[in-house]
């Protein structure tokens, strides 16, 4: 496999809450900054555009309806003006970009990772397969049609969203396609202090990412959003640290041996966390346990993947 060093960037940054245009403008500026710093790949957090719907954990469902309507109005149509702007920024900076966003498809919203190459083209996307618990009042389900690994000049890139990392078969599907760089994106739930998972969330994400790095023999770029004051203010929790606080998140770059090689960066300070990753290290991990090769047992276990797009209509042809 040889030595191949790629400079990657994990963007530990917060959006302009529920403002698509302002958040895209901020993203474009950060892409340019990362490009000037030499990054070849920039990864943004889960639904960075236009922000994570924290109200699902902090308010009753009926009280979240106005926020849902605002989220619908600020969701991203793919392709559209927002993706055009991000693609232009990627091209100008000469970097690959993985962007978390709430995507609008018809009358349904999806939790989506969108992939851009360094020419600004959309090369793929992934919709979260199962929104987690209360997230189901906001987002629809994805399907297997976009559970993919993208073969790029930087390496084989893929990713999963938050609690998808508990779906071992989804992780194995990507490992079986030979992923080398895994983009792991999450929200800053550790700053949502009324959530019973807040105290353990960052630790769970760290464990999930470090395990996946070893199990898939891949580099993992773990990116989380810190909670910013504008999100707290908009949700009506200013001065309520018992409900939400600024900061949160655990952002790091992890090697195939499970060791953290950049970060972790936590808290409210925004940072473009940079790391040089050498894909040549993957060979050493594969030597020990190539999970989709000599360490697999297809005579005992096989994975069936349905990659058909799940359509609501079907035409009958004569």
* Confidence at residue 1, expressed as pLDDT on a 0 to 100 scale: 53
Distance CA 250, CA 199 (A): 12
Minimal CA–CA distance to 70: which of 148, 18, 105, 116?
18
How high is the pLDDT of residue 132? 94
Rounded CA-CA distance 311/92 in Å is: 36
Strand duo 122-127 + 41-43: pairing: unpaired
Given a contact cutoff of 8 angstroms between Cβ atoms, the answer to whether 104 and 139 are in contact is no
Contact assessment for residue 21 and residue 50, using Cβ atoms and an 8 Å cutoff: no
Contact 190, 198 (CB under 8 A): yes
Domains of the chain from N-terminus onward: 5-289 (3.60.110.10)
- The pLDDT value recorded for residue 10 is 98
| Residue pair 137/56 in contact by the 8 Å Cβ criterion | yes
3-state SS assignment for residue 251:
strand
User: HSE (CB half, 13 Å, CA atoms) of 243?
Assistant: 16
Q: How far apart are CA 223 and CA 166, in angstroms?
A: 17
Radius of gyration of the chain from its Cα atoms, rounded to whole angstroms = 19
Residues in a beta bridge with 247: 227
Residue 2 pLDDT = 66
The pLDDT score that the predictor gives to residue 236 is 93
Cβ-based burial of 91 (10 A; exposed 0-12, middle 13-18, buried ≥19): middle
Find out whether 261 and 7 touch, Cβ atoms under 8 Å. no
Active site residues per annotation: 46, 128, 162
Between CA 119 and CA 89 the distance in angstroms is: 9
Helix ranges, the chain (H): 20-36, 55-58, 65-74, 81-93, 168-176, 201-216, 229-234, 282-289
- Spatial contact of 122 and 114, defined as CB atoms under 8 Å apart: yes
Query: What's the count of helices (H) and strands (E) in the chain, helices before strands?
Result: 8, 12
- Please give the chain's pLDDT, 318 residues, in tens: 567 999 999 999 999 999 999 999 999 999 999 999 999 999 999 999 999 999 999 999 999 999 999 999 999 999 999 999 999 999 999 999 999 999 999 999 999 999 999 999 999 999 999 999 999 999 999 999 999 999 999 999 999 999 999 999 999 999 999 999 999 999 999 999 988 888 899 999 999 999 999 999 999 999 999 999 999 999 999 999 999 999 999 999 999 999 999 999 999 999 999 999 999 999 999 999 999 999 999 999 999 998 988 887 777 666
pTM, rounded to two decimals? 0.95
- What's the pLDDT at 316? 67
Structural tokens at position 315: 């035409």
């Amino acid at each position: 496999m040889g030595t191949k060093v790629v400079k990657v960037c994990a963007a530990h940054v917060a959006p302009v809450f529920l403002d698509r245009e302002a958040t895209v403008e901020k993203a474009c500026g950060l892409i340019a900054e990362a490009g000037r710093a030499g990054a070849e790949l920039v990864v943004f957090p889960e639904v960075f555009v236009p922000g994570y719907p924290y109200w699902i954990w902090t308010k009753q469902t009926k009280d979240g309806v106005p926020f849902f309507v605002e989220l619908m109005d600020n969701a991203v149509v793919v392709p559209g003006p927002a993706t055009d702007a991000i693609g232009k920024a990627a091209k100008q900076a000469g970097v690959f970009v993985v962007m978390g966003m709430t995507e609008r498809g018809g009358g349904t919203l999806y939790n989506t990772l969108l992939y851009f190459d360094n020419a600004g083209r959309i090369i793929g996307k992934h919709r979260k397969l199962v929104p987690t618990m209360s997230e189901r009042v906001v987002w629809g389900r994805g399907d297997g049609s976009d559970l993919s690994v993208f073969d790029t000049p930087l390496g084989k890139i893929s990713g999963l969203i938050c609690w998808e990392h508990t779906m071992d078969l989804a992780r194995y599907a990507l490992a079986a396609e030979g992923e080398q760089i895994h983009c792991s994106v999450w929200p800053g739930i550790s700053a949502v202090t009324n959530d019973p998972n807040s105290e353990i969330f960052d630790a769970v994400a760290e464990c999930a990412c470090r395990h996946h790095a070893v199990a898939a023999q891949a580099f993992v770029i773990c990116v989380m959003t810190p909670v910013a004051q504008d999100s707290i203010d908009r949700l009506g929790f200013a001065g309520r640290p018992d409900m939400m606080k600024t900061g949160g998140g655990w952002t790091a770059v992890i090697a195939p041996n499970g060791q953290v090689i950049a970060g972790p960066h936590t808290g409210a300070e925004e940072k473009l966390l940079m790391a040089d990753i050498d894909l040549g290290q993957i060979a050493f991990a594969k030597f020990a346990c190539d999970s989709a090769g000599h360490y697999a047992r297809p005579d005992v276990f096989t994975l069936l993947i349905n990659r058909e797009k799940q359509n609501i209509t079907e035409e009958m042809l004569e």
